[in-house]
Amino acid sequence: MLKVLLVDDEAPILNNLNKVLPWQDMGMEVTGMARSGMEALRLAEEEAPDLVLCDIRMPVMDGLTFIGKLREMGLESEVLLLSGYQEFDYAREAIRLGVKEYICKPIHYEELGNKVREIGARIRSKQYKDKLYNSIPLFQEMPVPEDSAKKTPDQLMNQAAQYITERLNYDLGIEEVANRIGISSSYFCLLFKNRFAMTFVEYVTLQRIEAAKFMLASSDKSITAISSGVGYQERRYFTKVFQKQTGMSPKEYRDKYKAAEVR
């Protein structure tokens, strides 16, 4: 059973999250509920949850600060953000902290259930890959540059992922990122493919589209502004890439999301 931590300062929402979703049927167990970031940190340290559902806006310690502390503790829990914020900086910070999914309030529980199932499948897939990764000495004979010799492959790729997230609105290339973390391009490509199970270009595209989806769903910014904010200077090309990734245009995605909120 995957362990789940629920974090929201509103008791009715917290209780609904616990009761409405069929956690056991999804192979999950709610092992903790917290109404503040501080309480959530204590529970996270005790339980090491696989998945955290967390509100952004909370007193004393907000959701993004809590997630940052979670990462400082070394926990790589998947995070599903419950968001009411509408600024791109929040989206960028969330992605930098490893948040791949979000739900905008008011919560649509059917959509939430679908996302939780998707995340559960991703967690189990990663756990399986990690077992394989740790059981095969893939990198023992690989030459590693001196300046990065003390870093593990995971640390190098975490550093690369953070750099990519911080520069989504710039042109990015393999050589630039590899140089940034101090390894060769060929070694970078090998580590990257083994860690993320996709190419560098596929990963950057995915991160850009996820950031765009967040903004389309949670803000009123123009599609042109969102396009530029995630690294696509031409709206037409952005629309083409977005449609290929999601099966709908940015406008269709926004309209669909807004309609779901109304229901």
DSSP per-residue codes, 155-221: HHHHHHHHHHHHTTTS---HHHHHHHHTS-HHHHHHHHHHHHSS-HHHHHHHHHHHHHHHHHHH---
Which pLDDT band, with edges at 50, 70 and 90, does 160 fall under? Answer: very high
Q: Are residues 183 and 208 in the same domain?
A: no
pTM: 0.53
In the chain, the number of structural domains is 3
Share of the chain above pLDDT 90, in %: 30
- CATH number of the domain to which 234 belongs: 1.10.10.60
- CATH number of the domain to which 34 belongs: 3.40.50.2300
The domain containing residue 131 runs over which residues? Answer: 2-135
Q: Are residues 127 and 77 in the same domain?
A: yes
In this predicted model, what pLDDT tens digit does every residue of 9-51 receive, in sequence order?
A: 889 989 999 999 999 888 899 999 999 888 999 999 999 999 9
**Residue 147 within any structural domain of the chain:** no
In this predicted model, what pLDDT tens digit does every residue of 98-107 receive, in sequence order?
A: 776 777 777 8
Q: Are residues 248 and 131 in the same domain?
A: no
Q: Are residues 157 and 227 in the same domain?
A: no
**Residue 224 within any structural domain of the chain:** yes
Mean pLDDT over each residue of the chain, to the nearest integer: 83
Q: Are residues 129 and 42 in the same domain?
A: yes
Q: Are residues 225 and 119 in the same domain?
A: no
Bridge-based pairing state of the strands 101-104 and 51-55: unpaired
In this predicted model, what pLDDT tens digit does every residue of 116-130 receive, in sequence order?
A: 888 888 888 777 666
